[in-house]
Structure 1
């Protein structure tokens, strides 16, 4: 077992994180007591984001969200497994259930991104020649994306096909969300809307799926994207 050292006794990355917490406390926690007093009573986010674990694509940073605004689920490649009520531990499915059923979020966003290593593993069955014990099986959740792209990838086409596959993985996760009865029910009666977003951090662009099959269009400033599946209303129907 690794020895735990007090963060301030070590330099580099951990020290920067502790210094970052000091700035957060000074700039936000110390000056916004009303917000944090409200959060003591519990969380009431309207939006769930299913995002990739990639360190470059933190949804709270991308969206400029305040504490309590987003219920975030992160995993490799921002994938949603299909509904499997088999009484086995399923972290992503549990988080979706908690966000939709317990918290009553009004929107679920699947947020994919460019240069996704998880999608690369999906397409190539490995990453840089290495097959993982867990990652390879996990990304197989979106095997339909690999089947769709099979035979299309040449060296010249690779950047374009990779982007198409990343966006197709978002659409596959939206379809998988519909296999959850508590999701499909709420989408059908207007309490929940599903969105597919794609962040290209090489270009600094945010795109949204216009429908369950795409296409993805750039989100205009000040214009919230329409849901790719279903809609949300101001109040749940009686």
Structure 2
């Protein structure tokens, strides 16, 4: 199991291996970034977008959080980390594509379904509870159809992707660029057990394996 000293060892391998092989690329990136895709993914250690999509440095602008969620556009005071990253990617980097990436066995979606942090104090689950309230409406739909078993967890994981896609479009800069043909939004789901990527067909509302 990797600890901090293991990370340092990994860095040394990277510096003498991957960094050296792409030295010209790293020199280019030192002058700025120009990614063509933003990926909104879960913080889960098993779901690294750069691994799943086999990308090189500088190709993706990545935001990761519990359950790959995008909050709706809000202007109330506070620290809006996801919103700031989204704003920067779309209005400053002018990224033309956004991918919301959900995944199998998502702990955040599981917690949203079970509501196990519902009354927890801040610092002991309360922050998680507040965050995953973004899935409350989706949870109600899922429970009404599937109950609260394994099928419900999978259904909520898929719904979480759709919720984030809906919330993306509450940011004024998103529909403006979509209508101008400058931005496309995609939904995807990674199944950890079999390594299969499922992509949302916006016409049917179904996730289809690739």
For the aligned pair, the TM-score class normalised by the smaller chain equals over 0.9
1:48 deviates by 0.4
User: Closer, same or farther in 2 for the Cα pair 1:212/1:25, shift >3 Å?
Assistant: farther
Q: Name which structure has the greater RCO, CA cutoff 8 Å, separation 6+.
A: 2
CA distance in 2 between counterparts of 1:86 and 1:125 reads 26
RMSD: 1.9
What stretches of structure 1 move > 2 A for 4+ residues in a row? Answer: 150-155
- CA shift at 1:15, angstroms? 1.8
Aligned partner of 1:32 among 22, 43, 60:
22
Report the Cα distance in structure 1 between the residues aligned to 2:142 and 2:209, rounded to whole angstroms.
23
Residue of structure 2 equivalent to 1:90: 80
What's the counterpart of residue 199 of structure 2? 208
Length, aligned pairs only: 206
**What is the TM-score of this pair, normalised by structure 2?**
0.92
TM-score w.r.t. length of structure 1: 0.82
Q: How does 1:108-127 map to 2 (within 5 A)?
A: 108-126=98-116
> Aligned partners of 1:107, 1:36: CA distance in 2, in Å?
23
**Considering only CA atoms, is the larger Rg found in Structure 1 or Structure 2?**
1
* Residues 7-48 of structure 1: per-residue CA shift (max 9 Å, x gap): xxxx96112111111111111212222101110110100000
Residue 134 (1) aligns with residue 127 (2): yes
Unaligned runs of 5+ in 2: none
Q: When you count helix as a share of all residues, which structure comes out higher?
A: 2
Please, which runs of 5 or more residues in structure 1 have no aligned partner?
1-10, 220-238
Q: Among residues 46, 65, 68, which one is paired with 1:78 in the alignment?
A: 68
Contact 1:171 1:212 in 2 (8 A): no
